[in-house]
Amino acid sequence: MTNAENEVADLCVELIRVDTSNYGDGSGPGERAAAEVVMARLAEVGIEAHYSESADRRGNVVTRIEGTDPSLPALLVHGHLDVVPADAADWSVHPFAGEVRDGYIWGRGAVDMKDMDAMMLAVLRQMVTEGRRPRRDIVFAWLADEEAGGEHGAKYLARRHPELFEGVTEAISEVGGYSLEVDPGLRLYLIETAQKGLAWMRLVAEGTAGHGSMLNADNAVTEVAKAVARIGAHEWPLTYTPTVRTFLTEVADAFGLPFDPEDPRPLLDRLGPLVRFVGATLRHTANPTQLNAGYKSNVIPGRAEAVIDGRFLPGLEEDFFKTIDSLLGERVRREFVHHDIALETTFDGALVEAMIAALKAEDPTARAVPYCMSGGTDNKTFFADLGIRGFGFVPLRLPADMDFAAMFHGVDERVPVESLQFGVRVLNRLLLNY
């Protein structure tokens, strides 16, 4: 077993034990302490890194390893250090204990995404201590604030320190590279090549304020409620982007089933819990999430608001908003709480070939397939603005019965130690050979 395989679990545990909960309002502990762990582990093997804070305690770490061929474009490998909050009362173990039990590392961030943070550290430390260099420059980045939009991490670095990413044309990060076992002789590894766009929208209606006992035909609450009901009940049609169509075709072939575009449910059923990752990528979605109006039971307010979480398919943003606007009604306007692009790249090129080769070298049963993610990552949010083509690739060979999708932001988040060791081997092959 290599040095990286030996130490990756300990590195993951060490990072999990640093609480980096991101509440989205600046009230959390920040990422500085975790960034200091990364810096210390890099310094142990003589690696210098750029450390910067976009705000108090919002730490980011970036380092570049020079390749042997300066003519090749650089590769970015990045992970985020922040995690979503966790309520210890809901967990079987304390979410920041980093406990190892039954072959799993338990804790907030075990899969999202301190597992990859640790794998990056372990592979980089081994690369340097063995005196091995990759073919191309590789930029490693451990970032702040991904869980709240990247304002203090990827956005800050891309806008204030773009020189750190000079020459980078491609990137790998979350969420992809994990396995789905079809049978003992075949595992599909889902590599993320597309992400839905994001539209958090505030719906606003203004009416006539008045006494709750009187007739009022200009009630803002009523208008917002009608718009929310229309949007929430709207049935978005099945729409297959190139990535999703390729993914379903591959799944159909793997399971020996036909792909019926009119009814993909038989295929989706074979995905088990992973359907939560891909089920929402077959159509736009728009889910009402918040309502806000009034201040007293007998006062009709002059303003009412609601929030809609909208996610639109790559290449179809205009179609999405055209439908949303038709459902608003004349009395309701929409404003953006947050708006982000959709993204889709093709499943080809030297990096894709290298990822496939690294997977198959460690798992001969591997078949890599592209998929679309219903959420978003730092790959899309800001690095795309620098012209960097991003993929989701955190290689993990998972137990067939593991509900991996439930681990993301879920209770009792955990990752198998063997999966981390597998990931280290794959990542080491990829970074040295690509």
pLDDT per residue as tens digits for the range 317-327: 999 999 999 99
Residue type, 332: V
Q: Which of 295, 323, 340 is the last residue of a domain?
A: 340
Domain CATH code at residue 224? 3.30.70.360
Quick count: other Cβ atoms within 10 Å of Cβ 206? 17
Q: Which domain holds residue 219?
A: 196-340
Residue 207 is encoded by which pair of tokens? 């009416």
What pLDDT sits at residue 257? Answer: 94
With pLDDT > 70 as the criterion, what percentage of the chain qualifies? 100
Angle value at C-alpha 423, between 419 and 429, nearest 5 degrees:
150
Residues 308 and 213 placed together within one structural domain of the fold:
yes
pLDDT band at 149 (very low <50, low <70, confident <90, very high): confident
Give the model confidence (pLDDT) of 323-345 as tens digits. 999 999 999 999 999 898 999 99
Position 190 pLDDT exceeds 90: yes
pLDDT of residue 432: 96
What percent of the chain stands above pLDDT 90? 91
**pLDDT by residue (tens digit) across 212-226?**
999 899 999 999 999
User: Can you name the residues that pair with 299 across neighbouring β-strands?
Assistant: 211
Q: What is the pLDDT of residue 381?
A: 65
- The rounded distance, in Å, linking the Cα atoms of 184 and 176 is 21
Let me know whether 317 and 377 are in one domain: no
How much is the mean pLDDT over the chain? 95
Count of residues for the chain? 434
Q: What is the pLDDT of residues 223-240, one digit of tens each?
A: 999 999 999 999 999 999
Which pLDDT score is estimated for 273? Answer: 87
88 pLDDT more than 80: yes
Q: Are residues 208 and 186 in the same domain?
A: no
- Separation of alpha carbons 370 and 243, rounded Å: 6
**Which of 322, 340, 358 lies at the terminal end of a domain, its last residue?**
340
Instruction: Determine contact, residues 405/273, Cβ cutoff 8 Å.
Output: yes
Same domain assignment for residues 336 and 213: yes
CA atoms within 13 A on the CB side of 315: 12
- Does the structure show a pLDDT above 80 at 380? no
pLDDT confidence of residue 286: 98
- Does position 378 have pLDDT exceeding 90, yes or no? no
pTM for the model: 0.93
